[in-house]
Amino acid sequence: MRIGKSRLATRHLGVACALFALIAWMTACNAKPSSSPKTTPDKVQGKQSATPSAPATKMGTQTPTKRPNATKPVASPSKSPTATPPRKTPAKPTTPANAVKIGAWCTVYGSYAYDKLKTAQARARKITAAGLVKAHVFDTRSFLNLPIGELVVIGLTVDDRNAVRAEVEKAKRKKLRGYHKRCRTGSFHVPSIRTAKDILPQPTMPKTPFKLTTGSQAEVGCFAWSPKLHTALCVVGDAHLGTVIGEGEQGWSFRSVGVTATKAFVISKWTPGKTPAPDDAKRITPKLRQTLGSFIAKQGFVSLPESHDMVRGDQLAFASPRIRFRFTQTKAHVKQPTGNSWTDYANVLEMKCGKEPYKPIKEWESTSSGEVTVWRVPGSGYFVFAGSYEIGREGEIGEGSWAKVVAGKACVGGENEPGH
């Protein structure tokens, strides 16, 4: 009986030891990494995350969690023999001694016609001999704020306005007239005129007869000039909705616009409140195209030359005839009790002949800030203007365009400016 109890105790002890050994072995196995890692549901292999992830790393290395610096990292020198060398910043171009730098303040000592180059050069030598800075001769067509179409003598060109003021005062004490202004140039620097070959050819009117485009829709603006009639061919008109009934006809037309008389070729017309506006108000019919084409050929219309654009606050001056134009706008913000608001513009185009005061030549209203296009007709004293506008206010919406021709013959006798 004792032997049976002893064997039973020994058997129980063996089972307990085996159980402890199994637990120890399982604990040791769990402590080591598995040869094939588990794939968690949120990191399925082969599936791309919706947000950019960090580059994959070798097994056993840790992906850095440091947030990247906001500043650009400094690249270490590449050891590759084919590495691209760092790009060098181009050096800022230098202005020659006989050139005007863009945006510099200038001292101006006179202006002369193109056939007076020797006279202008003599003036420049006189300025230099008086102990002032060395002066040079330039073409005003290279500047944006000098009268177009003449030679000009310019002395000191610096960035300091006080320096050019002092230069002008020094010239006055030597009885040499001049004035100072900022030289707005169209390039980084403008070279001087040394010989007659440096002067660009004068603009001339095109010789090719003007022909209408093949498009079926008329575009507003001016396109051609008739030396025979001294008129410009333009598309003008207006179309408003919501205007007061009885304001008169509206519509669009081709017009031969002159200083006084005009000839119209109607594209469309209607009277608000009486006749409805057509759906295609600017369509050129075959009959109109034929009639207009015959008129253009008979009167010798040619294409207009290169134009100048004016925006609010701009001034545009010409040397011959000596005439200046100015485009101004006065704006007023309108706010209604209903909450609607807009900006009204009162536009004025003015003309100044020689030393006379400015006088208005065209006034119009708009609710947008527009521009005016200007053509100078070469070989004559005529100028062509075209403008378009939009109306968008409570109870009224629409658009319009206008054209005008100005004769500058009264300004032909204006003197060149030895200084202001």
266 domain-assigned? yes
Domain residue limits at 288: 221-411
Same domain, 368 and 257: yes
Coil vs helix vs strand at 193: coil
pLDDT in tens, 289-344: 999 999 999 999 999 998 999 999 999 999 988 899 999 999 999 988 888 889 99
Same domain, 241 and 176: no
Q: What is the mean pLDDT of residues 387-410?
A: 89
Quick check: 204 pLDDT over 60? yes
Same domain, 246 and 345: yes
Distance CA 256, CA 229 (A): 9
Q: Cβ(391)–Cβ(398) under 8 Å?
A: yes
Quick check: 14 pLDDT over 60? no
Please enumerate in sequence order all residues whose Cβ is within 8 A of that of 357, keeping only pairs 6 or more positions apart, or say none: none
pLDDT in tens, 71-114: 333 344 444 445 555 555 544 445 555 677 777 888 999 999 99
Q: What is the mean pLDDT of residues 268-295?
A: 91
Cα-based torsion angle of the residue sequence 407, 413, 414, 418 in order, rounded to the nearest 10 degrees: 150
pLDDT value at residue 274: 84
Looking at every residue in the chain, the average pLDDT score rounds to: 78
Lowest mean pLDDT among 74-78, 375-379, 407-411: 74-78
Same domain, 183 and 315: no
Same domain, 286 and 396: yes
Residue matched to tokens 């919706």: 50
417 domain-assigned? no
Same domain, 291 and 145: no
35 domain-assigned? no
Same domain, 244 and 140: no
Most confident range, picked from 45-59, 153-167, 290-304, 396-410: 290-304
397 domain-assigned? yes
Same domain, 304 and 356: yes
Q: Residue 161's pLDDT band (boundaries 50, 70, 90)?
A: confident
Q: What is the mean pLDDT of residues 188-194?
A: 85
Whole-model pTM: value is 0.70
Same domain, 237 and 194: no
400 domain-assigned? yes
52 domain-assigned? no
How many separate domains does the chain show? 2
Same domain, 285 and 400: yes
Same domain, 330 and 404: yes
2 domain-assigned? no
Same domain, 257 and 178: no
Lowest mean pLDDT among 41-45, 113-117, 241-245, 282-286: 41-45
